Structure 1
Amino acid sequence: MRRHLLTLVLASGAALGLFQAPAHAAEGTVTVFETEVQPLTVYENPRGCHKLPLAAHVLTNATDRPVRIYGDPFCLGPSVAVPPGHGSHVAPGSGSFSA
């Protein structure tokens, strides 16, 4: 019984992507504009999931890889890809991106 449980746990982890090889960081910057009175938020060589600032309004991708924008703070669910050299409006209040 334990062997079957361990197999089920490992298979579930693999299906969820928990055991993937670590991704290489994107080279470049992701910049987030919030408002005219706040400084830009800049992520250097981003890797993994990053929660967007609360008042995020525009994200620009100046990395060498696509960046994915999510509607939740955990990089789960549907996403939109922003190619290198492009930008996108983002919904304020929640959300995240991964590179």
Structure 2
Amino acid sequence: MKVLTLISTAIAAAAFAMPAAAQDADAAQKLLKAENCTKCHSVDKSKKGPAYQKVAAKYKGKADAEAKLTEFLTKSPKVKLDDGSEEEHKAIKDQKAMANLIKWVLAQ
């Protein structure tokens, strides 16, 4: 009985210790497609806009990274693209989905 209890406890602890990254990543990918972000961005290659890995590197170790990206994604600023042109960056209205997306981008 003790062995069964120990095994059950270990399985439960492992389940809680595992991050929900797969679900969060899926939700982030779904939002990227729904908002048409992949038109200008990808994970590892620059397109019209920077790769998410480049964004993550820019903000790595900065305490205000999430706040800055939240402000950027809610204010819809004009952005200068790699080809020199400018366009208005699309704002994301779903705050909860955007918060997940920002965490996902910063983890790249």
Give the TM-score, by structure 1 length: 0.37
Give the TM-score, by structure 2 length: 0.34
Asked which structure has the greater CA Rg, the reply is 2
> Going by fraction, where is helix more abundant, 1 or 2?
2
> Going by fraction, where is strand more abundant, 1 or 2?
1
